[in-house]
Amino acid sequence: MAIVVIESPFAGQVQRNIEYARAAMKDSLLRGESPFLSHLLYTQPGVLDDNNPEERSLGIKAGLNFHSVCERVVFYLDYGMSSGMVSAWESATKKGIKIEARYLYR
């Protein structure tokens, strides 16, 4: 199973985006991948507050560290790209990590 980092929107319409991220995780698993979604893990109650800029930045930095152990970074783009996703795209590009764009609803 390929280890992949999944990027999808989180901020804004948070409940919709959580449901979308879960659907992206399922899609990835059904493709035979081992997905990691830092934005679902780090925003759990009692971990980091995405509305706190310092904690959001910490979560983004921690998530980007997983790029060093993944085969590729997969962006689910049905709802566009958040600022965190843009940071992840730029980081993966600079590190030469494979990037893949996916859609669930097309």
What confidence tens digit (pLDDT) does each residue in 36-95 have? 999 999 999 999 998 999 999 999 899 999 999 999 999 999 999 998 899 899 999 999
User: Would you state the pLDDT for residue 24?
Assistant: 98
Q: What is the DSSP string of 41-103?
A: HTTSTTS--TTSHHHHHHHHHHHHHGGGG-SEEEEE-TT---HHHHHHHHHHHHHT-EEEEE-
User: Would you state the pLDDT for residue 11?
Assistant: 86
User: Would you state the pLDDT for residue 106?
Assistant: 84
pLDDT of 28 > 90? The answer is yes
User: Would you state the pLDDT for residue 32?
Assistant: 98
CATH of 2-102, one of 3.40.50.450, 1.10.630.10, 3.50.50.60, 3.30.70.980: 3.40.50.450
